[in-house]
A = this chain, B = another copy of it.
């Protein structure tokens, strides 16, 4: 299976914020992402806990970045969401079988290297990079 859309939605939202001087409302972000404002609030809550964004209720409220876009690495964004590891273990291999009894430890190591490789790749980009690339594409039209 694949991951949820949360990561994509989140990068999208952060890119919008990086491109805006004023705070943006969940409603506005949802309009660009094409989803419901509640989905945005739900998803962004994780980033708020991580200190990447802040939100303010009430008139003229909304979301804004708490850090320069160039300092927000996609790895940290991804990890804020608290997703499971992308490769997952099977549940209860038979521990009385010589293979079954020892495979988990080996797989944990294999999966965790793979996860690190994925995260390292994400750590090489920031929201500022994404925004720049988006603008470049927009110009190319």
Contact = CB atoms under 8 A, between A and B. Distances in A.
B122 A8 contact: no
A128 interface: no
Indicate how many identical chains form the complex.
2
Given A1-B2, A105-B137, A137-B106, A8 B87 contact: yes
A20 to B, nearest CB: 9
B12 A100 contact: yes
Interface residues of A, number: 60
A14 to B, nearest CB: 10
Given A88-B5, A118-B118, A138 B12 contact: no
B84 A1 contact: yes
Given A5-B90, A7-B88, A114-B121, 7 more contacts: A1-B84, A3-B88, A8-B89, A12-B100, A103-B134, A110-B130, A117-B117
Interface of A: 1-5, 7-9, 11-12, 15-16, 19, 31-35, 74, 83-94, 97-103, 105-107, 109-110, 113-118, 120-122, 124-125, 130, 133-135, 137-138
